[in-house]
Structure 1
Amino acid sequence: MTSPPPRVTEPDPSAARAPGLVGPCAGCQRPTHKYGAGGRPLCQWCMDPVVARYGSTVRYVSAR
């Protein structure tokens, strides 16, 4: 069993890797790498259920 996610006020670990590119997660608004890990706009805790449902090859597609 995994541990529960930290409070939303605490940033995602990916935010530390890109200090100039920090923005809100599209799911919970937690500070995260603006483009996420691998181009995903979700923090790791919001991405886990998506990966569980669709697999690890899921990608974010722009609506533009």
Structure 2
Amino acid sequence: MTTPPPPITEPDPSALVCSGDKVGPCTSCQRKTHRYGTGGGPLCQWCMEPVRAGWGPNVRFASTR
């Protein structure tokens, strides 16, 4: 059982540890998240969880750089 996400007004924890110029909105819920630069992704951790569950164990992130 997972805990429900906090209100959208609260940022993703990843946004709290990166510099302000790398913070942007989640493409799904618009919550502030670490979006730009190394390690950034377009989805916050709560929106990414169901997506990642559908990938399976063999999918890995590959850099496009």
TM-score of the aligned structures, taking structure 1 as reference length: 0.77
Displacement, 1:34? Answer: 1.5
Displacement, 1:33? Answer: 0.5
Larger of the two Rg values belongs to structure: 2
Mark the runs of 5 or more structure 1 residues left unpaired by the alignment. Answer: none
Q: How many residues align?
A: 62
The aligned counterpart of 2:44 is 43
Mark the runs of 5 or more structure 2 residues left unpaired by the alignment. Answer: none
The aligned counterpart of 2:5 is 5
The aligned counterpart of 2:29 is 28
Residue 52 in structure 1 maps to residue 34 in structure 2: no
TM-score of the aligned structures, taking structure 2 as reference length: 0.76
Displacement, 1:40? Answer: 2.1
* CA deviation profile, 1:21-56 (whole Å, cap 9, x unmatched): 110001100000023884421000000000111136
Q: Which has the higher helix share?
A: 2
